[in-house]
Amino acid sequence: MADRAIVIMTHGEFGSELIKSVEMIMGPQENVCALALRPGDSVDNLRNKAALIVEKNNEKGLETVVMVDLMGGSPGNVALSLLAKNDLKILTGVNMPMLIELLAFYKNDEDTNTLLETIKQTGMDGIKKLDRSFFLKK
């Protein structure tokens, strides 16, 4: 079994609320945490908190998957700074379908890169444009 941990870093409380929403569907989850960059927070403080979590995951033998809300935003840049010093994986554009899929399979033996390609596709597939014609199709 692959041992992985998930860190979700976002602007505001999006990450922690996303975890709460997913847990409504899937129940409590292990090795999943959220870090928020709130208005007035220091990016250095976020970086230090994230680095400590990754270090603890490494000590426990857990591979870390970092999910961020926005590439190029401060949480994403913090994730990149962690990647420069650690063996971890990053997914940007975190959404609920991605997190559900990842939590459903993050404990399996599948290669992490393969798993994350599936999760990336799930995130894209979860985006739909609907209009009134949706009701007219049979």
Mean pLDDT of 70-87: 96
Cite the DSSP H helix spans in the chain. Answer: 14-26, 43-59, 74-83, 96-105, 112-125, 133-136
- pLDDT at 2 exceeding the cut of 70: no
Question: Would you state the pLDDT for residue 71?
Answer: 95
Domain residues for the domain of 108 are 4-136
CATH number for the domain including 118? 3.40.50.510
Mean pLDDT of 104-130: 91
Give the rounded percent of residues in the chain with a pLDDT score beyond 70.
Answer: 98
Question: Would you state the pLDDT for residue 137?
Answer: 74
Domain count, the chain: 1
Tell me the two tokens of residue 136. Answer: 């007219």
Q: Which helix (H) or strand (E) holds 11?
A: strand 4-11
Q: How far is CA 106 from CA 91, 128, 138, in A?
A: 14, 25, 36
- pLDDT at 138 exceeding the cut of 80: no
Question: What average pLDDT does the structure give for the chain?
Answer: 94
- pLDDT at 1 exceeding the cut of 60: no
Residue in this structure with the two tokens 């709460």, named with its chain if needed = 20
Question: Would you state the pLDDT for residue 57?
Answer: 97
Angle at 98 between CA 32 and CA 27, to 5 degrees: 50
Q: What backbone torsions phi and psi does residue 56 show, to the nearest 5 degrees?
A: -65, -40
Question: Would you state the pLDDT for residue 51?
Answer: 98
Q: What backbone torsions phi and psi does residue 11 show, to the nearest 5 degrees?
A: -75, 130
